Structure 1
Amino acid sequence: MRLYVILPLCALLTLTEQEHQHGKCACELSNSERAFPHEKLRRAESSASACNSNITPQKTVELESLLQGLEQRLGELHKDVQILEKEDDGELYGVLSLYVIENEMTEIKLLMDKLNSTTLGHQLLTANTSQQLENMKTEMEELEKFDSMQVIKGQQTIRSLTTDLDSCKRELGVLSQLPQGTCPRSRILNVTGPVFFTAGEYPGSYPYGAWGRDPKPEKGKESWYWVVMMTSNNRYSNYVRFYSSLSTLIIGVSVPGNVEIHSSNPATNTIQGPNNVVYGGALYYNCYDRDAVCRFNLTTKSVSTIELHKDTRYNSKANFCHLDECYPYTDLDLATDESGVWVIFTTALDFGNIILSNVEEGDPPVLGKTWQTSLYKQAVTNTFMACGVLYATRYVSEEVEEIFYSFNTVTGKERFSVGIFINKVSPNIQALNYSPVDQMLYAYCDSIMVSYKMFFK
């Protein structure tokens, strides 16, 4: 069936019938409308493209990240000054405290210099962009006058209504359908941000890695952050790097520095793949060239292994993937939440579907209870745990990732329509870690470290 649309051309065109010689008729066609200004439209498109390239997600959250780092650093400086004021032991500890405070003030000065430079750049960008947007608005209003049949206005109304409808559906689905887990904060309502991001000490150098905070930190290390970068072929690493605070991570001052598993890379019991976590003063990761989880004690420097199920797939045979690519050596994903450490993997006997097991602490640690899901691992880009619920993400576009799946370890129920969207600063997310310490989601994205705020019911 064909549909024919008859346009009121009489409003646009004037037809004049004329009788020619020899009894023939001819029609003279004249357009009563103004000629459309194509060059003005091209200029508007060019200006819009320039704005999109100048204003990126990174720039919109960079200032907030620096301010957050400065706020934390000033708090630490205040505490150290209070300690110094209370000390009176013949100058020894006072001198040491002064050295600590001097180093902190140097770091704050570097952070403020970077903040001032960023602020100035943003002010110039804001001024230029504001003027461009005003010019574009004026030009588009002029161009809309050529839409004599109100087609554009109708399309805008339809888009607005469609967006509102989709938003209502998502909110209704999230509020009514997300599963409960094993702690009071048991339903993720939303993930906002990025709250913070930084390229770290080595911008663009190590695209694969992971970072985050220890959910069960040792005393005196509550504010520490850890980073594991794949330093060999995006596959292997032999150390974990620590930062004493978020601000030291921003300015690239690693204290206490690297903690090596082995002097060689790769070697027996070193790290394979980016999906690593730190919990209770130990690093958990996929052992090099093995279907096992390694636990590296950061204090004693000893390594213990956790054997996985028979026929566990490893060595890049069951990676996280999306339509365009797979992330190599992501067969095993380690995760943490309020209850401890989890390992997400698959075996040759489970049709490639995800298997979830918890790790029971001990010396050595052992694999605990196991759950089987119906989620195909290579249809997933990443996973993380929160309150005893497994969540999985998938690639939507270069700007958006979706938390689309959940598995409740208490009820055993699965959902494939969670529908929570994450705004990305880079196309790929190589690792996701949830920290119950601050309810933040830590993402490692093409060498950029990003954090998101999670909201629970």
Structure 2
Amino acid sequence: MKLHVIVPLYALFTLTQQAPSRDSCVCELTNSNKAFPHEKLSGVEDKASTCSGNIGPQKTMELESVLLGLDRRLPQLQEDVSMLEREDDGQLYAALSLQVIENEIIEIQQIIDKLNSTTLRHQRLTADTTKQLETMRAEMQELEKYDTMQVVKRQQDNHRLKRDLDECKNEEGHLISKPTQPPHGDCPYGQFVNISGVRMYTAGEYPGSYKYGAWGQDPKPEKGKESWYWRVMLTSSNKYSNYVRLYSSLSALIVGVSVPGNIQIHSSNPTTNTIQGPNVVMYGEALYYNCYNKDDVCRFNLTTKTITTLQLPKGTRYNSKGNFCRLDECYPYTDLDLATDESGVWVIYTTTEAFGNLVLSKVEEGEPLTLNKTWNTSVYKQAVTNTFMVCGVLYATRYVDKSWEEIFYSFDTTTEVERFNIGIFINKMAPTILSLNYSPVDQMLHAYCDSTLASYKLLFE
């Protein structure tokens, strides 16, 4: 072995033995540095995983659910007491009413006890987690000593430099007027730039049941129904449904109280013009969905109980031949995705002529239903997991992992500009989002995730 080969290794290894040979040179090398403590690193990773499991959005939702239950019961108690005061006859009626009120007070006290115990449990969990985080930080700082090449240090320096650069750009942006941007749809709020964490999360009245479905609000409700919510669950083979379920408020949806109950499209499931697939929306007191076994859009009027159908262009993929997908799985019967925004109803699909790329069409109200303008995009539908509309802009998502979904693509129908670098991430409450519905009423995005319901607030610039 030549000398200039041995010298660079000397900083890390010590030459201990050399066996002479005419044809080859064999060296036994011994690492002069301490062995990296992999077990310690694994221990830190285990602690971090435990912390992530102990503290998550579910803990917050648990507290919010109790508060919502209390919020629902207190007005009811007040109403019953007021009724007793108005109609007290001093005899049997008063005794019965007092018994009802006493039972309600007992139940409210139980909710308050649960609220107190949940709060104390969360306080203890917060204190324990703080100590664990401090311990993990100290352990990670100890492990950084083994970073002899200073990789971590350089990454930290780069992060600080990037942060300082971003701050500098922001300060410069306040001093220098920004160039005029092209119009971004027709949005009164500005440009959609980010999404909040989970604002609401519930298992609803059927925990763990009905994996596929959709939910949301009607952007154009009847007067007096502005706070109502709807939910559609695929009750037959996770593919079909024949009714929509209504709730008078978000609290009613969370606790599972549907006063109107089910509004049935047909007594059979499935049959002609019932629901196929989870991509359903409600607009103007009518339900829009993929008709059973057709490449049509169905509109079911909840008031008149009548159905209107809309034939989509020739070559439209249907019956689970043009689904949303991720790498290892496709979502069955998601050929047609219905969406609502500030301007009305849209349908997103694909055709043979579009070679499997997303096609977007505006659905016009009236009798009969008609399609307005249609746009062809250059994003492949089976590379997408979901779509939704905001202010005339189509957004598409893709699967990242069990915890995250990415809004990666947009198509502006005003400018016809496509973007593939949106980079907005959704923190999921379950591994699979089966439908996304945007509500222009309050700029919330409603997700149906493996039988659970979650909502997020859209943030605009």
Under TM normalisation by the shorter chain, which class is it?
A: 0.7 to 0.9
Deviation at 1:446, TM superposition (A): 1.2
What is the SS of the residue equivalent to 1:341? Answer: strand
* Higher mean C-alpha displacement, 146-155 vs 45-54: 146-155
| Conservation of the 8 A alpha-carbon contact between 2:69 and 2:255 | no
Give the Cα separation in 1 of the matches to 2:230 and 2:110. 21
Matches within 5 A, 1:294-373: 294-373=298-377
Contact 1:392 1:403 in 2 (8 A): yes
* TM-aligned CA deviation for residue 127 of structure 1: 3.0
Distance 1:388 1:144, change over 3 A: closer
Between 389-398 and 286-295, the greater mean CA deviation after superposition: 389-398
What's the counterpart of residue 383 of structure 1? 387
Residue 225 of structure 1 corresponds to which residue in structure 2? 229
Question: Is 2:450 aligned against 1:446?
Answer: yes
- Residue aligned with 1:46, SS: helix
Structure 2 gaps of 5+ residues are 18-26, 174-178
For residue 208 of structure 1, report the CA deviation from its aligned partner: 1.0
Residue matched to 1:77: 75
Q: Offset of 1:333 from its aligned partner?
A: 0.6
> How far 1:215 moved relative to its partner?
0.7
> What does residue 401 of structure 1 align with?
405
Going from structure 1 to structure 2, the CA distance change for 1:382 and 1:5 (only over 3 Å counts) comes to farther
Give 1:286 shift. 0.7
Please state how far the C-alpha of 1:420 moved relative to its aligned partner: 2.0
In structure 2, do the counterparts of structure 1 residues 335 and 159 end up closer, same or farther at CA, with 3 Å as the change threshold?
same
Seen in structure 2, the aligned counterparts of structure 1 residues 139 and 205 have a Cα distance that, compared at 3 Å, is same
Contact 2:245-2:261 within 8 A present in 1 as well: yes
Alignment deviations for residues 184-241 of structure 1 (CA, whole Å, 9 cap, x no partner):
2252021111111111122222211111111111122111111111111111111111
Give structure 1 stretches of 5+ with no counterpart.
Answer: 18-26
Q: In structure 1, what is the Cα distance between the partners aligned to 2:189 and 2:37?
A: 57
RMSD of aligned residue pairs (Cα, Å): 4.1
- Confirm whether residue 245 of structure 1 aligns to residue 243 of structure 2: no
Q: CA deviation at 1:49?
A: 2.9
5 Å matches for 1:280-291?
Answer: 280-291=284-295
The 1:385/1:105 distance shift into structure 2, 3 A limit, reads: farther
Q: Tell me if the contact between 2:14 and 2:32 (Cα under 8 Å) persists in the aligned partners.
A: yes
Q: Is the 8 A contact 1:178 1:418 kept in 2?
A: no
CA apart distance, 1:54: 2.7
Taking the aligned partners of 2:180 and 2:203, their CA distance within structure 1 comes to 38
- Offset, 1:267: 1.6
Secondary structure, counterpart of 1:133 in structure 2:
helix
Residues 66 and 111 of structure 2 are in contact (CA less than 8 Å); yes or no, is this contact kept in structure 1?
no
Cα deviations by residue, 1:155-189 (Å, 9 ceiling, x for unpaired): 443466578889999xx9xx997851123225202
CA pair 379-28 structure 1, distance change in 2 beyond 3 A: closer
Give the AA of the match of 1:132: Q
Partner Cα distance (2:440, 2:331) in 1: 26
Q: Which deviates the most, 287-296 or 107-116?
A: 107-116
- The superposition leaves residues 232-285 of structure 1 with CA deviations (integer Å, 9 ceiling, x where unpaired) of 111111111122221222222222222111222112221100000111111111
CA contact (8 A) 1:334 1:343 kept: yes
**Whole-angstrom distance in 1 between the partners of 2:28 and 2:284:** 87
SS of residue in 1 equivalent to 2:43: helix
Supply the AA of the counterpart residue of 1:420. I
- Give the CA deviation at 1:138: 3.1
**Could you tell me which residue of structure 2 aligns to residue 185 of structure 1?**
189
Counterpart check, 1:211 vs 2:215: yes
How far did residue 294 of structure 1 move?
1.2
Q: Measured at CA, do residues 109 and 251 of structure 1 come closer, stay the same or move farther in structure 2, by a change above 3 Å?
A: farther
Counterpart of 2:61 in structure 1 is: 62
Amino acid at match of 2:65: L
Give the residue type in structure 2 aligned to 1:250: I
Q: 1:396 to 1:274 in 2, by over 3 A?
A: same
CA distance in 2, matches of 1:435, 1:110: 35
Q: CA deviation at 1:7?
A: 6.5
Cα separation, 1, equivalents of 2:273 and 2:421: 38
